[in-house]
Every structure is written in C-alpha cells, then in structure tokens.
Amino acid sequence: QPCWREYLTTRIEQNMVVNCTCPISECRAQPTTAFIYSIVSSEEIIAKYEKALLRRYVECCSNLTWCTNPQGCDQILLKDGLGYGAACSKCSWISCFNCNFPEAHYPASCSHMSRMTCAKCNHGFCWRCLKPWRPNHKDYYNCSAMVSKAAWQEKRFQDYNERCTFHHHAREFAVSLRNSVSSIREMPKIRNLTFVLDACKVLEQARKVLAYSCVYSYYNQDNESMDIVEQQTETLELLTNAL
C-alpha cells in the first residue's frame, strides 16, 4: 500500500491520474475510483483527484464548458439554449461558445476577433497561428502598397484601437464602481442604492457593446449599411457618456 499511495499521490499532484495505469510495465490496467479512495487517505489529495475527474468529464462532453470569466469562475455551463445575452448564473459573465475569445463580443463576429490586418499591404492573417487569412495569399513577407495608403490604414487602425481600449477601460471603471457601491450597501443606516447598481450594470453592458462595435466597424468599412451603424454607435456613446 505505501508504494501505491506514493504513486497515486504523485500522479494526482501532477494532474496525470485520469489515464494512469499500473506501474508494472507489462500491465495496462487502470486503478478504479474505489481503489484510489481505499489507498489515498489525504482529504486534500482526494479533493484534487475529484477535481481532475470533473475536468475530464467536462472535456469529454461537447455540450458542457467552463465559464470563461478571466477573473476566475468554476461554474460549468450547458451550451444548449445559451444564446447571446445568457449569463453565467454564478458570476454573470457572458461567454462566446463559437470561438476561443473569452467573452461574447457582439456586434463583432468571431472571425473579427481572430483576424488581424497588415496596415501596409492589407494582408489578413490569424493572430493565433500567424498563418495567412486567405490560403491563396502568396506574398506573405512582401509589401508593395503605396506609403500613403499604408499611413491611412495605420491611422485608421490606431483610431479604432484607441476607442476600443477606452471603452474597455471605462467598462472596468463601471465594474469597480459597482463593487464599491455594493460594499457601501453593507454598512448600517445607508439608504437603498439599488438604482446605482442597476446603472453600473447598464454602463458595463454599453461599454462592452461600444468596444466591440469598434472591431465590427473596422472590418466592415465597405459595407453600405455602415453609415447607419456608425450613427447608432455615436448615439449610444453619447448616452453612455451622459449616464
């Protein structure tokens, strides 16, 4: 038993217990859960083992996923029926289930969130793997565009990027403000501040939409309906700033 206990404990701590086999090279048998419970007595190690089993289960179920809140959340979400606007029941984070971006990014599409464009030659590529966005693009390292066009593209990218960054920072401020108000409400003899919390939540959502509207507008410059989109975005930005 001591040998088995040390072996299983090491495997659990290294997150390699789920597929581990008997340490005898000729034996491919895997220790069962009941066997592990009978050998390992440490509650801390058992807790790590159970977490490993849960992670494995979620990974094997295509309809399950973890909440993608970058601040940390251990909630398991069921993908079915969770369209845009559905939030985690534990932390209220809204995830995107169609791409690897950590949160819902309406109105920007999933392709917008994974695509970058060279400011000089307008070549599109994926920022995850750095491969060309279009397979038939052959001039990967060679740019022959005019400098004036490159300068215009660079200035346009900087403008949208600055706006997007501003709205993300403003959203973080709204989150910080909501947390501060929540702590004040816990103090005695303080009037109800629910309306302030509601306003902060609206600010968070509005700033999020405005940030990803910048991404959407940047990649849809030739769309005929962009004038209407820009007008709506400007109106939302004015109202949000006023709030």
Q: What is the pLDDT of residues 42-95, one digit of tens each?
A: 888 889 888 888 888 887 887 788 887 877 788 888 776 555 546 788 888 887
Secondary structure (3-state) at 225: coil
Q: Predicted confidence band at 144 (pLDDT cuts at 50, 70, 90)? A: very low
Residues 149 and 182 in one domain: yes
pLDDT score of 204: 92
Residues 30 and 127 in one domain: no
Q: Predicted confidence band at 143 (pLDDT cuts at 50, 70, 90)? A: very low
Q: What confidence tens digit (pLDDT) does each residue in 98-138 have?
A: 776 777 877 777 767 665 556 556 666 654 555 565 544 33
Chain mean position to CA 206: 18
Residues 148 and 184 in one domain: yes
- Asked whether residue 110 is assigned to any structural domain, the reply reads no
Residues 66 and 140 in one domain: no
Range of the domain at 75: 61-104
Residues 138 and 235 in one domain: yes
- Asked whether residue 186 is assigned to any structural domain, the reply reads yes
- Asked whether residue 166 is assigned to any structural domain, the reply reads yes
pLDDT above 90 (res 33): no
Q: Look at residues 73, 104, 135 and tell me which one is the last residue of a structural domain.
A: 104
Whole-structure pTM over 0.85, yes or no? Answer: no
Residues 45 and 97 in one domain: no
> Number of folded domains in the chain?
3
Residues 9-46: b if buried by 16+ CB within 10 A, e if exposed: bebbeeeebeebeeeeeeeeeebeeeebeebbeeeebe
